[in-house]
Amino acid sequence: MTWTTRQRSEGAGALAYCVEGRGPAVVLIHGVGLRAEAWNAVSQALAPDFTVYTLDMPGHGASPLAGAAQLNDYVARVLTFIHTLDAPIYLAGHSMGAMVAVEVAAQAPERVEAVAGLNAIYRRSAEAAAAVQSRAAALTHLTAPDPAPTLARWFGVAPSGATAEAAAACRSWLTQVDPDGYATAYGIFAWHDGPSEDKLQRLQMPTLFQTGADDPNSTPGMSQTMAAKAPFGQGVIVAGAAHMMPMTHPEAVAEALHSCFTRRIQADAD
């Protein structure tokens, strides 16, 4: 099955990771409550042309939380990881992972050849901010969250086919996630409002912001606005997709990432 648990290695920054493929290095960062396997389908699609590293975010999968408490702690761990790779990397993140990826690219542009933020947030409405902050405040650091409300937001109340398989995988991950790691990450995600305009303007590399047309929280308008503010930004909206786009629409995600990353490779070759 697509979402089968994969073998991990222990990397720098105390980050566990899976790796496959051959070629330039791609690093993928998942969102809150998930794990490296959330990228399985996208990773498989990219692997013929890239070496793909899929990370477990701190406090998720096999990566310890190890004192991470602020967004920059997550960023620092990823920076430590990518600095051990042999060459500049191509970077993408989903949801909270997009927050981390954009910050990493802004802080270390000499290491990041291209960056993508998938289902990223930017300047939530007051109503959306209040809703996500209320959910964060209700979490406990001692008990795993009830996955049902999250799955309903991500996949709807009655997913079917491949979407139902993705939802079942997410249910398992949300049930097994370290409660402290989940609550910490969700709190950061809830109170962060997306990259500053200054950070977006620092992205002097091909930059992709992609989201689903039906994502009510990481809206098309957010991605289009961020893309317009990044010097080499591109906004891509996937019809029929919502928040779990890398799992429900992996072909569209892999195609957009491949296009963004090879755009930089071709520019370097010219």
User: Within a 10 A sphere around the Cβ of 139, how many other Cβ atoms?
Assistant: 19
To the query of whether residue 217 is one of the catalytic residues in this protein, the response is: no
Told to judge if 249 belongs to the known catalytic residues of this protein, a careful annotator would answer no
**Tokens (6 digits) for 124:** 């939530």
CA distance 255 to 2: 18
Is position 30 annotated as part of the catalytic site? no
Q: Which of 95, 218, 223, 249 is catalytic?
A: 95
In this structure, which long-range contacts are made by residues 74-80, counting pairs with CB atoms below 8 Å and at least 24 apart in sequence? Answer: 74/100, 74/185, 74/188, 75/100, 75/103, 75/104, 75/107, 76/13, 77/13, 77/14, 77/15, 78/13, 78/15, 78/27, 78/29, 78/104, 79/13, 79/104, 79/107, 79/108, 79/111, 80/12, 80/13, 80/15
Q: Which of 119, 223, 249, 258 is catalytic?
A: 119
**Start-to-end Cα distance in the chain:** 41
Q: So which residues are the catalytic ones?
A: 95, 119, 243
